[in-house]
Amino acid sequence: MGILDTVKGPQDVRRMDAGDLPRLAAEIRELLVSSVAKTGGHLGPNLGVVELTIALHRVFESPRDPILFDTGHQSYVHKMLTGRAGDFGTLRQEGGLSGYPSQAESEHDVIENSHASTALSYADGLAKAFTLRGETGRTAVAVIGDGALTGGMAWEALNNIAARKDLPLIMVVNDNGRSYSPTIGGLASHLSSLRMTQKYEDALGFVKENLAKVPVVGAPFYDALHGMKKGIKDILAPQVMFEDLGLKYVGPIDGHDLEALEAALRKAKGFGGPVIVHVLTRKGQGYSPAENHDEDNFHGPGPFDPVTGEEPPKPHSWTNVFSEEIVRLGAERPDIVAITAAMLYPVGLAPFAEAYPDRIYDVGIAEQHALTSAAGLAMGGLRPVVALYATFLNRAFDQLLMDVALHRLPVVVTLDRSGVTGDDGASHNGMWDMSILQIVPGLSMAAPRDAVRLRELLREAVAIEGGPSVVRYPKGAVAAEIAAVGKIGTMDVLRSGEPDVLLVAVGSMAEVCLDAAALLDAQGISATVVDPRWVKPLDDALVPLAAEHKLVVVVEDNGRVGGVGDAVARMLRDADVDVPVRTYGIPQRFLDHAKRPKILAEIGLTGQDLAREITEAVARRSSVLEDDPAGQV
């Protein structure tokens, strides 16, 4: 029985002898590697926070002292120390542990966050609530790292936190040297210790209070002393940004030295106000394949060989197709520049960066800045392509609306991981984009069904003038090519049929719709299948085509509310076409994590499910028409 097996909650970690902690850390790393090797997940970040998380749970009393991880993928060790180590074989599996904090799993997971740069704001609110309610002895702890401090929201929070000197709030900056490198210089540990000592604060207050009582010279003398202190500090080390905000700072601390970590955290806790604790960690610590992985220190690998760290070959993905085509476009058009928000490798822009190093901008976790900076680039005569995960576009909606679309700028946004993504859970499903983008004036939006169409539509998007364009595509292996059998306007006809049912297949739903059409045919129901390619604006040719059919069915990998189905229905209403429209898509709820095919089956987005639903709808429609041939009912 290992020492980790004895940990049923944080109280067991607090009671543990300090001499046993290195063994505990080693067992945690062993379990991290063996579990993630089977399930995939965020390995490198968690290997780097093993000692830090142990120290946090020894100094603070979770959940009375809420520990908030930003981003949430750093919480694996926290899960182990709060009684979930025995379930790690189920990580990211259906019905198993989430790859992010989950309130459904434990009272120790206070927030469910995977969109970065939010924890400081949560902590600010919690600490203010503790103070207002008189809940003394409680401290809010925010662990921010893996690039999260590059997000503007984090600095908005810091600005507000600094204004309240009484907040019981500890901010741990997990600086792993990869995503975030704060410009704080090399402050000496003894200076940090001095500034954190309560006796020092008391002495300074005493001197200030009593010198002020000395006639004539008191106040000027204090100001001179304060100026001397600041000057000495500036000689020994640069004035740091956190102190310029008025925040107490301690560090840098070796994030793999348990004794130093505990000492620093206890000192910060004892201060009684907001404190920054700067911790230096190594991403991938303790597992050589991760430590030596140049790209991202095994930030988020799929399943791999735990001995060698080798991952099996991955199928050609939608991201790969985009990556190849943007490089080709870059060669043809020197005005194309690319922007990423701390996702150079995940969104496929690394080859573009290698080919055109002067035309790539990684802005950190700052999607808002990315879009408005793209607006400026477009104003300057360039053609920016902003590559994001679909789920993160939500954070930059205002900028896309008011800074890009309002100025009718030709900014291209590509949305990877659109629709159901699966393993990463509710926060990563890209199910909102086709709904929120419908309301943006002058915006064009495309949804390719296969690799050929992705290349084709990306090229068309880059050529659009006078407004922004969006190209969205799913996660995973790219779909096999689906050739068109005809053309109606700009729409591709994938299957021709008699005027029974018109299936409007949006992007990756093309294959599902063709499967449904084949099953419908076996039931004597003929279906036409079209791929609109551009789902905003819809081609006017859709109106007379719909009028030729008895039922229009729109299938989309997006939330049903406000998506393409609603746009089609509105288009037909405006044209006084009375053909009924049914929309099939993602239900408007937060989906549990599971594999994409499993989720699609659960929500009814399979050929068989669609065929059954459509057959029943046609039967109901036929029954109504038989009872009321004139269509008066």
pLDDT at res. 192: 37
Residue with tokens 């490798």: 345
Cis amide prior to 150 (ω within 30 degrees): no
Question: 549 a known binding residue?
Answer: no
pLDDT at res. 17: 93
pLDDT at res. 594: 80
pLDDT in tens, 51-70: 999 999 999 999 999 999 98
Q: How far is CA 69 from the centre of its chain?
A: 14
Question: 147 a known binding residue?
Answer: yes
Compute the distance between CA of residue 610 and CA of residue 596 in angstroms, rounded to an integer.
17
Pairing outcome for strands 534-536 and 444-446? antiparallel
Question: 367 a known binding residue?
Answer: yes
Torsion of CA 77, 296, 298, 66, to 10 degrees: 10
Question: Which of left, alpha, beta for 567 (phi over 0: left; psi -120 to 50: alpha)?
Answer: alpha
Active site members: 283, 367, 395
* Strands in 281-340 per DSSP E: 336-340
pLDDT at res. 185: 30
Compute the distance between CA of residue 329 and CA of residue 357 in angstroms, rounded to an integer.
15
Mean pLDDT of the chain: 86
Question: 115 a known binding residue?
Answer: yes
What global pTM score does this model have? Answer: 0.83
- Helix (H, G, I), strand (E, B), or coil: what is residue 530? strand
Compute the distance between CA of residue 446 and CA of residue 456 in angstroms, rounded to an integer.
10
pLDDT in tens, 217-259: 555 554 555 454 444 444 334 335 677 777 888 888 899 999 9
pLDDT at res. 223: 53
Residue with tokens 């009393």: 61
- The secondary structure of 432-466 as a DSSP string is SHHHHGGGSTT-EEE--SSHHHHHHHHHHHHH--S
Question: 146 a known binding residue?
Answer: yes
CA dist 212 → 39, 203, 218, 329, 491 (Å): 65, 14, 5, 69, 80
pLDDT in tens, 313-365: 888 999 999 999 999 999 999 999 999 998 899 999 999 999 999 999 999 88
Residues near 109 by Cβ (< 8 Å), separated by ≥ 6? 75, 79, 82, 101, 102, 103
Residues of the chain with pLDDT under 70: 177-241, 622-633
In 3D space, the residue among 14, 7, 4 whose CA is nearest the CA of residue 58 turns out to be 14
* Strands in 219-274 per DSSP E: 248-254
Task: Give the pair of three-digit tokens for residue 483.
Answer: 């050739």
pLDDT at res. 205: 52
Pairing outcome for strands 491-495 and 486-488? antiparallel
Question: 407 a known binding residue?
Answer: no
Question: 148 a known binding residue?
Answer: yes
